[in-house]
Amino acid sequence: MKKIYVTRKLPGVIMDRLHENFDVNYWDDEDEPVPRDVLLREMKECEGLFCMLTETIDEELLDAAPKLKIVANLAVGYNNIDIEAAKNRNVIVTNTPGVLSETTADLTFALMLASARRLVETSEVVRDGTWGAWSPMHYTGQDVHGKTLGIIGLGRIGEAVAKRSTGFDMNVLYHNRRRNEEAESRLGATYVSFNKLLKHSDFIVLLLPYSKSNHHLIGSQEIGLMKKEAILINTARGGLVDEGALYHALEKREIYGAGLDVFEEEPVPLTNPLLQSKYVTTSPHIGSASIETRLHMCHLVTDNLIHVLSGRDPLTPVTK
């Protein structure tokens, strides 16, 4: 049987499938990432790697794995993997596109609603006993219905978010590298320039992959173009936003709020000032975190490993 390594303990149904098909070694912890030295040592004889975003797959690791044929990443994004280094060594890289789009769109919309209506902040008011007498403007937030939604990155997840917005009678703007006329017709979305989207949107949602070229895509200059009532939502990657610039803009009330599922450093340090801001709604990178979707993702990673290590083509290749 082909030897693989799994960088985290997975649900029993997935581990059973893996053991049925492979000689499996794995890091026996559900919550803590495998230490780097352990991973390097384990890779010496492996032909397949089942990994998470928490693992850095770089030249050092690939050189430590001379038999490696596939890196199967449990995520849509793959900025944790040196793609060129993998190509140069004829190592196939796969990801899990498609299966998490609807679930991540749900979470994106949940952050929009929670940020607009101050749900986390007002929940604490109830729990800590500071809920006072009714007042006309107490705990007021922003409406979502009828507002303008700006989507940066109208891929599968972006389209799913746009679809949900129709139930809220929202006007949808989007910006992509390429115009998507089919999606415009189907979703009623309008293609606009990046700056026009920032200026005219009430909710700005980031749903594009991270790369070095779009590092800190949203910084002080971009925030300066936004409405004072704007809410920024990031369920993509933390590196897209200059967190220092965002914090200062929120505290100066240059924009209304932010909903963040991702951060530049994860787990986010408690010293990050965004965690102290009452204008920020946070969640711990749970975009795809439904039971159904995470199991579906794990099965897809397993299918990719089975296909490649039995000599067939990968189902969802990043590289071939």
Active site positions, annotated: 237, 266, 285
Gap between the Cα atoms of 211 and 222, Å rounded: 18
Contact 211, 237 (CB under 8 A): no
Q: Is 51 helix (H, G, I), strand (E, B) or coil?
A: strand
Token pair of 13, please?
């149904």
Gap between the Cα atoms of 29 and 34, Å rounded: 8
Phi, psi dihedrals of residue 117, rounded to the nearest 5°: -100, 10
Gap between the Cα atoms of 152 and 171, Å rounded: 14
Contact 5, 26 (CB under 8 A): yes
Contact 75, 99 (CB under 8 A): no
Gap between the Cα atoms of 199 and 224, Å rounded: 9
